[in-house]
């Protein structure tokens, strides 16, 4: 890779981290916003899900459009909307403004994430592509995991401070990207060309897309109520929540950046995916049965690490399955991730209003079922090789 290509990839990595930071900054302040304004857990779940709903609607459309009009302009527009959404959230004092902020944030993610993945595929050869996509996925997961910890620390000044900080970072990132990101020419798809869905949606592609949905559903179903759950059940303070989530972020990033390539080489993506589903399910159940803060912290550490190894493993396998229509593939990837992000928080919020333990039991059951499906897929893949 030449110097300009490396610089472009670094910009894409940081942008994905920043966007996902904005998704998760709200998590540690949710219980305090809930108490301050008198909202129900369902209100908070819907507010969180609106981000993902907007992303779900827009991602495949924008991903396909970027195949036709180019990547850079879409990426810069996404960063602009990110800055606006964070500023609106910082200024909000009513539920409808909070909701509008999250919708705009979802549109910004729909513009940036699939387009950046597609641009990374454009800029890299087959030898380096999986590695680069893995790093971008690590940035994606890192933002989701570190966001709550950073948000919790900044919220010690004010519950709105995290969002002002994110808005400033968004502005700086937009200016930097506008100046330094080179939009290298790619073979754009004619507007009249249609997708052959029968050839595109192979059985393996469908299974991988299903796994993307399940992993995002599990992560958001777990994470969206985590701060409320441990505050209500285990009496964790904001400082403790921030510390736990920061430790989880450090652990997850270590496994993604340092261990991920080694794990995929030793285990293979499919086996690694199965192990992550199993560990996530077991430790989610463990949290519901825990009797001490230490147990909760250890189990949480394993759950988040499993999810954040799972995401790049699935994405890496997806990039190896097909090399064409990268904008569309990554748009569908983000769209299905968003479906999981919509369903997960709403389900967890509604069920938690009934009983605080039920959401995590449901998440665990789905993860165990996913583990069994992964075993079946592995057996099928081995039979195909023979």
Intra-chain end-to-end CA distance of the chain, in Å: 37
Predicted pLDDT at 127: 65
* Domains located in the chain, CATH noted: 3-182+196-385 (1.20.1250.20)
pLDDT at residue 384 in the model: 56
List, for the chain, all residue ranges whose pLDDT scores fall below the cut of 70. 1, 23, 126-130, 145, 183-201, 319-328, 330, 338, 341, 380-386
pLDDT at 381: 65
Whether 30 contacts 228, CB under 8 Å: yes
pLDDT of residue 88: 92
3-state DSSP of the chain: CCHHHHHHHHHHHHHHHHHHHHHHCCHHHHHHHHHHHCCCHHHHHHHHHHHHHHHHHHHHHHHHHHHHHCCHHHHHHHHHHHHHHHHHHHHCCCHHHHHHHHHHHHHHHHHHHHHHHHHHHHHCCHHHHHHHHHHHHHHHHHHHHHHHHHHHHHCCCCCCHHHHHHHHHHHHHHHHHHHHCCCCCCCCCCCCCCCCHHHHCCHHHHHHHHHHHHHHHHHHHHHCCHHHHHHHHCCCCHHHHHHHHHHHHHHHHHHHHHHHHHHHHHHCHHHHHHHHHHHHHHHHHHHHHCCCHHHHHHHHHHHHHHHHHHHHHHHHHHHHHCCCCHHHHHHHHHHHHHHHHHHHHHHHHHHHHHCCCHHHHHHHHHHHHHHHHHHHHHHHHHHHHC
Residue 284's pLDDT is 93
The pLDDT value recorded for residue 280 is 92
214-256 residue pLDDT tens:
777 777 788 778 888 888 888 888 788 878 877 877 887 788 7
Look at residue 120 in the predicted model and tell me its pLDDT: 80
Predicted local distance difference test score (pLDDT) of residue 325? 62
The pLDDT of residue 283? 93
């Amino acid at each position: 890779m030449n110097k300009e290509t490396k610089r472009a990839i670094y910009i894409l990595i940081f942008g994905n981290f920043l966007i996902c930071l904005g998704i998760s900054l709200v998590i540690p302040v949710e219980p305090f916003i809930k108490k301050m304004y008198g909202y129900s857990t369902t209100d908070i779940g819907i507010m969180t899900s609106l981000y993902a709903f907007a992303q779900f609607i827009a991602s495949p459309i924008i991903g396909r459009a970027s195949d036709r009009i180019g990547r850079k302009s879409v990426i810069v527009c996404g960063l602009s909307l990110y800055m606006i959404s964070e500023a609106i959230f910082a200024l909000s004092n009513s539920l409808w403004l909070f909701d509008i902020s999250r919708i705009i944030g979802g549109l910004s993610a729909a513009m940036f994430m699939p387009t950046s993945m597609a641009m990374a595929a454009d800029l890299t050869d087959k030898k380096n592509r999986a590695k680069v996509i893995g790093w971008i996925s690590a940035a994606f997961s890192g933002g989701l995991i570190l966001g709550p910890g950073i948000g919790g620390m900044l919220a010690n000044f004010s519950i709105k401070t995290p969002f002002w900080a994110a808005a400033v970072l968004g502005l700086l990132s937009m200016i930097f990207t506008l100046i330094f990101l080179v939009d290298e020419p790619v073979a754009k798809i004619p507007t009249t060309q249609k997708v052959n869905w029968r050839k595109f949606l192979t059985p393996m592609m469908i299974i991988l897309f299903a796994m993307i949905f399940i992993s995002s559903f599990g992560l958001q179903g777990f994470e969206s109520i985590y701060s409320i759950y441990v505050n209500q059940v285990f009496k964790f303070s904001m400082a403790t929540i921030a510390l736990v989530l920061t430790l989880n972020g450090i652990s997850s990033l270590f496994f993604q950046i340092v261990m991920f390539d080694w794990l995929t080489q030793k285990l293979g993506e499919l086996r690694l995916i199965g192990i992550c589903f199993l560990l996530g399910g077991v430790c989610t159940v463990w949290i519901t049965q825990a009797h001490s803060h230490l147990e909760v912290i250890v189990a949480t550490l394993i759950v988040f690490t499993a999810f954040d190894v799972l995401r790049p493993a699935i994405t890496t396998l997806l990039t190896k399955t097909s090399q064409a229509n990268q904008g569309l593939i990554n748009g569908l990837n983000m769209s299905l991730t968003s479906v999981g992000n919509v369903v997960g928080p709403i389900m967890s919020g509604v069920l938690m209003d009934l009983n605080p333990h039920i959401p995590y039991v449901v998440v665990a059951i789905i993860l165990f079922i996913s583990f069994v499906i992964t075993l079946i897929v592995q057996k099928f893949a081995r039979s195909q090789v023979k």
